[in-house]
Amino acid sequence: MTKVAFVFISAFIIAAYSASASDWNLGQGGNLDVYDFSSCGFDENNNPSWQLKGQKATVRGTVTRINNCELVFFLKNKTKKKDSAILTPDESGKLKVILKTPQCDFSHAMGEVKSDQPLAIDLGTSIDATGIGFDIDLKRHVVLIRSAVKLTFILPEKTAKALKKGHGK
**Together in a domain, 22 and 48:** no
Mean pLDDT of 9-16: 41
**Residue 60's CATH number:** 2.60.450.10
Q: Rounded distance, CA 92 to CA 86, Å?
A: 17
Indicate whether 129 pLDDT > 70: yes
pLDDT of 77 over the 70 cut: no
Please state, rounded to an integer, the average pLDDT across all residues of the chain.
76
3-state SS of the chain: helix, strand, coil percent to 5? 20, 50, 30
Res 70: pLDDT: 96
Predicted pLDDT of residue 146: 96
pLDDT digits (tens, 9 = 90+) for 43-75: 888 888 899 999 999 998 889 999 999 999 987
Residue 143 pairs in a beta bridge with: 136
Instruction: State whether 63 and 107 are in the same domain.
Output: yes
What is the share, in percent, of the chain residues with pLDDT greater than 90? 39
CA distances (Å), origin 109, targets 2, 61, 96, 142: 50, 11, 24, 17
Q: What is the pLDDT of residue 20?
A: 39
- Domain match, 50 and 26 both: no
Give, as one character, the DSSP assignment of residue 19. H
Give the domain extent around 17: 1-30
Residue-by-residue DSSP string for 65-101: EEEEEEEEEEE--SS--SS-SS----TTS-EEEEEEE
Looking at the fold, whether 64 and 125 belong to one and the same domain comes out as yes
Q: Do 72 and 17 fall within a single domain?
A: no
Residue 169 lies in a domain: no
What's the total number of domains in the chain?
A: 2
